């Protein structure tokens, strides 16, 4: 209950930060909406969007709509309800983020365990080099390279848009590279730290096989930091897929935010960012519960 109360306070503080940061973006939405702006038309648009009022009044009106009516307002560009547009784009982002996180978790855990199992050998060097490459390669460059190779040259996969599972393969793999590298590095360090503890030596002394020691004993004890990283990276994928969604023309919330920023669509930007902040907070809340499930010491 204390954590829930702190989440509400943090969400309120985040709404203030979002509102003020959006207002710092250069450009006037009223001017961008008009092809031939005149002072009278600009004043009319600003009055309709409540941009002619003081900032505290604008924030109070937005907060009243969000928490009182459950509405983020209407998009300046499309004229449609922002909540409806988010409901349309959010499933695409969740589909992409879940697929990417699944790939990142499996690949990262396997690579981290592989490196820890062969610590100090050329296999460990290969694993750490691959994880370093995953952290270093820019996502947008990797996406363009993947489209050039698998779409234009080989013709195996479609280049963009959302459709069947073939449309999901490239953006999910590209988006999974950085989280997989983080999970691999964290899991390698965690497994190596656990392998030097007394209960691992006891398990080996009792005659347990190396595979049983690694997967049944060491991996379970090392899951706490790995689960933390997976939760943090999943929250990052929900809000950090802007480049991937833009490159692959994926109709998700990241691309929606990018389009809204270019158009200075204040209601769309504010609503989308507030939803993303809430999702990040919710993921951290879930990770805390998983900590208590995996670590008995936290329950005492």
Instruction: Say what the pLDDT of residue 217 is.
Output: 67
Section 15-22 average pLDDT: 85
Q: Which residues pair with 236 in a beta bridge?
A: none
Please compute the mean of the pLDDT values over residues 64-85 and round it to a whole number. 78
8 A C-beta contact, residue 179 and residue 100: yes
Higher-scoring residue by pLDDT: 130, 73: 130
Summarize the confidence of residues 249-277 as an average pLDDT: 82
> What whole-number distance in Å separates Cα of residue 291 and Cα of residue 211?
25
Provide CB contacts within 8 A for 34, sequence distance 6+.
Answer: 41, 42, 45
- State pLDDT tens for residues 170-217: 888 888 888 888 888 888 888 877 777 777 777 777 776 766 677 666
Q: Is residue 37's pLDDT more than 70? A: no
At residue 90, does pLDDT exceed 70?
yes
Alpha carbon 5 to its chain's center: 24
Cα–Cα nearest to 84, from 93, 74, 94: 74
Residue 81 β-bridge partners? 74
Long-range contacts, 9-14 (Cβ 8 Å, 24+): 10/281, 11/274, 11/277, 11/278, 11/281, 14/274, 14/277
CA quadruple 109, 112, 117, 120: dihedral, nearest 10: 180
pLDDT digit string, tens, across residues 176-185: 888 888 888 8
The stretch 252-265 carries a mean pLDDT of: 81
Which whole number is the average pLDDT over 17-41? 74
Structure token digits, residue 220: 């379970």
- Distance in angstroms (rounded) separating the CA atoms of residues 266 and 257: 10
Architecture of the domain spanning 90-299? Orthogonal Bundle (1.10)
Tell me what the mean pLDDT of segment 288-299 comes to. Answer: 68
Q: Regarding predicted confidence, which is higher, 212 or 11? A: 11
Cα–Cα–Cα angle for 127, 128, 133, nearest 5°? Answer: 100
pLDDT greater than 70 at residue 239: no
Domain ranges within the chain, ordered by starting residue: 15-68, 90-299
Q: Is the pLDDT of residue 122 over 70?
A: yes
Residue 83: what pLDDT?
Answer: 83
Statement: residue 290 has pLDDT above 80: no
Write the DSSP string, 168-184.
Answer: HHHHHHHHHHHHHHHHH
Tokens of 219: 């991996």
């Amino acid at each position: 209950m204390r954590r829930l109360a702190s989440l509400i306070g943090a969400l309120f503080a985040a709404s203030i930060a979002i509102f003020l940061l959006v207002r710092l973006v250069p450009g006037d939405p009223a001017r961008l909406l008009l092809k031939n702006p005149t002072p009278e038309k600009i004043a009319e648009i600003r009055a309709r969007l409540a941009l002619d009022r003081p900032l505290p009044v604008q924030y109070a009106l937005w907060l009243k709509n969000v928490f009182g009516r459950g509405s983020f307002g209407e998009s300046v560009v499309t004229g449609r309800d922002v909540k409806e547009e988010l409901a349309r784009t959010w499933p695409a982002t969740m589909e992409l983020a879940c697929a990417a996180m699944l790939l990142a978790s499996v690949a990262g855990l396997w690579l981290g365990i592989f490196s820890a199992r062969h610590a100090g050998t050329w296999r460990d060097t290969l694993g750490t080099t691959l994880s370093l490459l995953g952290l270093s390669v820019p996502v947008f460059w990797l996406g363009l390279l993947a489209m050039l190779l698998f779409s234009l040259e080989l013709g195996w996969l479609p280049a963009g848009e959302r459709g069947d599972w073939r449309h999901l393969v490239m953006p999910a793999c590209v988006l999974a590279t950085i989280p997989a590298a983080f999970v691999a590095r964290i899991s390698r360090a965690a497994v190596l730290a656990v392998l030097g503890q007394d209960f691992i030596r006891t398990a080996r002394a009792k005659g347990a096989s190396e595979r049983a020691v690694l997967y049944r004993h060491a991996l379970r004890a090392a899951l706490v930091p790995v689960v933390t990283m997976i939760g943090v990276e999943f929250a990052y994928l929900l809000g950090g897929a802007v480049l991937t969604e833009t490159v692959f023309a994926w109709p998700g919330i990241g691309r929606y935010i990018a389009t809204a920023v270019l158009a200075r669509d204040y209601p769309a930007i504010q609503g989308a960012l507030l939803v993303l902040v809430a999702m990040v907070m919710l993921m951290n809340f879930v990770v805390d519960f998983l900590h208590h499930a995996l670590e008995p010491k936290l329950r005492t």
